[in-house]
Structure 1
Amino acid sequence: MIDGVIFDKDGTLFDFRASWGAWAGKAVAILASESGVPTAVLGAAIGYHPETGQFDPDSVVIAGTSDQIAAALAAALPGVDVDALEDRLNRMAAGAPMLPAVDLPHVLGALRARGLRIGLATNDVEVAARAHLEAHGIDGLFDFIAGQDSGHGAKPGPGMCSAFARQQGLDPARVAMVGDSLHDLHAGRAAGMRAVAVLTGIAGADDLAPHADVVLPDIGHLGAWIDGQRAGG
């Protein structure tokens, strides 16, 4: 049985390449213009290729926290204040256009209609996460929203997942953590949850499958999988 689902945000609710490629391209271009450091150098610092808009599989942008992204960029920008850069990147992130991976109101609404509790656990900051959900009119569908700065730690630690289960009165073994990266799957496992991988991020099925109960094309297939679990399938 599954009583609750906690989602990652980027690469899970929102298509990672389409959403964060534009943000990374803009951030790198602005910083390059201001500093004189080539865009290729700044892109390499965060595992991003400005010429193609693609990310390396181990890019810090994929599963890292905002302070880690800022630190990586700051290493290529001598003299920059890391905290100020992080604050600036977070403001840019809050306004970044997110492209949904699926029809989010429909998919999340259908999960709620099944009686499921729904949470969000992201390594983004909470204010940016809420801004992205609100921009798509889905913030009201979540019972729990946490970012890496919400007091529960960051993934792959289990803190956000455990807090969701605790606050909603759920048995972690009856909760599914859904994400597109190993950080997500490891966070769910560490919290004693089921681990569901989706392919709307950067990682491929071969990378995710050994760490997941199931690998789905996207979260639009989640309801059918949950129905199968409830039926004993």
Structure 2
Amino acid sequence: MSAPTPTPVEAVLFDKDGTLFSFSATWDAWAERVIQKLSGGDGVLALRLAGSIRYDLLESRFQPDSPVIAGTNREAAECLAAVLPGRTASELELFLLAEAASAPLAETVALVPFLAGLAARDYALGVMTNDSETVAREHLAAVGVLGMFDFVAGADSGYGAKPDPAPLLAFADITGHDPARIVMVGDSTHDLRAGRAAGMQCVGVLTGLAPESELAPFADAVLPDIGHLPGWIDR
């Protein structure tokens, strides 16, 4: 018996952090800087702040269960506010947004040629991140790929946040493609659960912190990085 014919692909929607950009290479250094600034040199407070977002100061990396990995800036701010007297979650959210804009960006693959290759196939391309839309646009512009996307949305764009499928369905509606012919690509179960709920094809990538065993139950495939996506589509 022959294998079933794969559903054609007409569009690809990417998560940002851990998918287009390596999570650890981009956000570990950012977290160190945030904790240093908020703690003001108080070592005990620094440990509390790090603990609130599940960041390991000794190893300079996020723990795999950190709420920062797939959460929104608001959720991260609420974690920090719980251990930082005198600062509200709203104030901290604005602080995190400002700090995120200057995060060191490490592309998981060379994005310009990779995205140009997908565009040459006439795919609609989008980004849906639980970061803010403004920061997402700044990051994409910084590496010269903002204009290659037909859709860029964040948790604050008015469509909701993952794992809610609503922002993914907004991409389908705006680009005019059947969700079944869209591939959602991400490094977290938030991405893949949203994709499943939206009726999309789902591909996990291992450039975030989640292991293959965590992603596989929600994915049609788990790839080393987005560079392997064209080969999977052409299978």
TM-score band w.r.t. shorter chain: over 0.9
User: What is the CA deviation profile of residues 116-162 of structure 1, one whole-angstrom value per residue up to 9, with x for unaligned ones?
Assistant: 10000000000000000000000011000000000000000011110
Task: Give the alignment of 1:15-164 within 5 angstroms.
Answer: 15-33=22-40, 37-164=44-171
Instruction: Kindly indicate whether the alpha-carbon contact (under 8 Å) linking 1:37 and 1:77 is maintained by their aligned counterparts in 2.
Output: no
C-alpha distance in structure 2 between counterparts of 1:74 and 1:23, whole Å: 18
SS in 1 for 2:68: helix
Instruction: Kindly indicate whether the alpha-carbon contact (under 8 Å) linking 1:61 and 1:69 is maintained by their aligned counterparts in 2.
Output: yes
Distance 1:71 1:37, change over 3 A: farther
Measured after TM superposition, the shift of residue 182 of structure 1 is 0.1
What corresponds to 2:198 in structure 1? Answer: 191
Measured after TM superposition, the shift of residue 34 of structure 1 is 6.6
Measured after TM superposition, the shift of residue 94 of structure 1 is 1.1
Measured after TM superposition, the shift of residue 51 of structure 1 is 1.9
Greater CA drift, 89-98 or 170-179:
89-98
Mind listing any 5+ residue stretches in structure 1 that lack a counterpart?
229-233
Measured after TM superposition, the shift of residue 79 of structure 1 is 2.2
User: What is the CA deviation profile of residues 195-216 of structure 1, one whole-angstrom value per residue up to 9, with x for unaligned ones?
Assistant: 1000000001111111100000
Instruction: Kindly indicate whether the alpha-carbon contact (under 8 Å) linking 1:156 and 1:186 is maintained by their aligned counterparts in 2.
Output: yes
Correspondence for 2:173 among 166, 169, 176: 166
Q: Work out whether 1:3 is the aligned partner of 2:14.
A: no
Greater CA drift, 209-218 or 32-41:
32-41
Correspondence for 1:200 among 188, 201, 207: 207
The TM-score normalised by the length of structure 1 is 0.95
Instruction: Kindly indicate whether the alpha-carbon contact (under 8 Å) linking 1:147 and 1:154 is maintained by their aligned counterparts in 2.
Output: yes
SS in 2 for 1:222: helix
User: What is the CA deviation profile of residues 70-99 of structure 1, one whole-angstrom value per residue up to 9, with x for unaligned ones?
Assistant: 000000102212111110110110111111
Measured after TM superposition, the shift of residue 36 of structure 1 is 6.6
Measured after TM superposition, the shift of residue 57 of structure 1 is 1.3
C-alpha distance in structure 1 between counterparts of 2:86 and 2:98, whole Å: 21
SS in 2 for 1:149: coil
What corresponds to 2:4 in structure 1? Answer: none
C-alpha distance in structure 1 between counterparts of 2:181 and 2:34, whole Å: 40
Amino acid paired to 1:43:
A
Correspondence for 2:188 among 181, 193, 207: 181
* Percent sequence identity over aligned pairs: 53
What corresponds to 1:231 in structure 2? Answer: none
Q: Segments of 4+ in structure 1 off by > 2 A?
A: 34-38
What corresponds to 2:3 in structure 1? Answer: none
Amino acid paired to 2:189:
L
Instruction: Kindly indicate whether the alpha-carbon contact (under 8 Å) linking 1:35 and 1:77 is maintained by their aligned counterparts in 2.
Output: no
SS in 1 for 2:112: helix
C-alpha distance in structure 1 between counterparts of 2:41 and 2:80, whole Å: 13
Amino acid paired to 1:213:
D
